[in-house]
Amino acid sequence: MIKAVMLDLDGTLLTDDHIISDTNKEVLKKLIEKGVKVYLVTGRSFDAMKQYHQELGLDTPAICYNGAKIVYPNGEFNEYPIRDNELKTLIDIAHETETHLNIYQHEVWYCENTENEETKTYIHISGLTPTQINFNDLKELFSTKILYIADHEKLLEVEREIKSRLGNKVFTTFSKPFFLEVLYGDVNKGSTMEKIMKKEGIDLADVIAFGDGLNDLEMLQMAGIGVAMEKSFPELLKVADEVTGSNNESGVGEFLKRYL
């Protein structure tokens, strides 16, 4: 019997038009009525994901920034940001490699160029509005999540440089081939899922997790059943227990129908 469902948003629960299909919505609501807890687990900020949380009528914690922020129904939150020297190093790497960088302080998205294609891409996906700033002028050196945007080959070089300078002080992952995400220490969707399930008294063996990106890998590995979407990263397809249809074909809902 499943007790919890963990859902990535972009490329998983949401269609490419960023909506929850009727099939996904109906199946999830039926599972909730049966007592199954449904959690949204995303790389987005809370402001960029809360509309979906509300649309599904969820009363579970919202897992944002790939697990670096947990927002509880009463408005309280836990946050695990990158700080000080580590953040300065990540900014330096962006400048040295001339790679677009997003910094997130709580719910505010900062970048140094709000007019380039990288920013326009992220605005389209997230629906958020950036605040332009010179990163050297940040009043506080912390960021809940770091996001580099570039072509995949360049980001692989950036990732190697990050690993060389910071080692295991930060966690790197890809949500899309063109999105390199950096989190504090060992923070990821899987480790945060584990914390919340322990608090809820739910065994990980009773959890189904869905995702499509490398930032979903730890979550799918740790859940009792890890389900990759049809168009997932090849590395994710290798570790998944099951593969379902695409996000545009209600892959989540179609898979979960067997548990109704």
**Helical packing angle, 152-166 and 84-97, nearest 10°:** 140
Q: What CATH number is associated with residue 223?
A: 3.40.50.1000
Model pLDDT for residues 77-131, shown as the tens digit of each residue: 999 999 999 999 999 999 999 999 999 999 999 999 999 999 999 998 888 999 9
What integer pLDDT is reported at residue 34 of this predicted model? 97
Q: What CATH number is associated with residue 87?
A: 3.30.1240.10
Supply the mean pLDDT for the chain.
97
> Could you tell me which residues come within 8 angstroms of residue 118 by beta carbon, excluding any fewer than 6 positions away?
100, 149, 150
What integer pLDDT is reported at residue 69 of this predicted model? 98
What integer pLDDT is reported at residue 113 of this predicted model? 96
Neighbours of 106 (CB within 10 A): 14
My answer on whether 173 and 96 are in the same domain is yes
Here the tokens at position 163 are 């690993």
- The rounded distance, in Å, linking the Cα atoms of 167 and 260 is 44
- Cβ atoms 45, 178 nearer than 8 A: no
My answer on whether 176 and 197 are in the same domain is no
Residue 215 has pLDDT above 90, yes or no: yes
Rounded-to-10 torsion of CA 112, 165, 235, 183: -50
Domain boundary pick from 184, 209, 226: 184
Q: Pinpoint the alpha helices (H) of 56-188.
A: 84-97, 117-126, 152-166
- The rounded distance, in Å, linking the Cα atoms of 163 and 212 is 24
My answer on whether 65 and 191 are in the same domain is yes
User: Per the structure, how many domains does the chain have?
Assistant: 2
Model pLDDT for residues 120-167, shown as the tens digit of each residue: 999 988 889 999 999 999 999 999 999 999 999 999 999 999 999 999
My answer on whether 98 and 110 are in the same domain is yes
Domain of 204, in residue numbers: 4-79+187-259
Residue 33 has pLDDT above 90, yes or no: yes
- The rounded distance, in Å, linking the Cα atoms of 171 and 183 is 5
Domain boundary pick from 141, 156, 184: 184
My answer on whether 163 and 209 are in the same domain is no
Minimal CA–CA distance to 1: which of 219, 190, 172, 202? Answer: 202
- The rounded distance, in Å, linking the Cα atoms of 228 and 249 is 14
What integer pLDDT is reported at residue 125 of this predicted model? 86
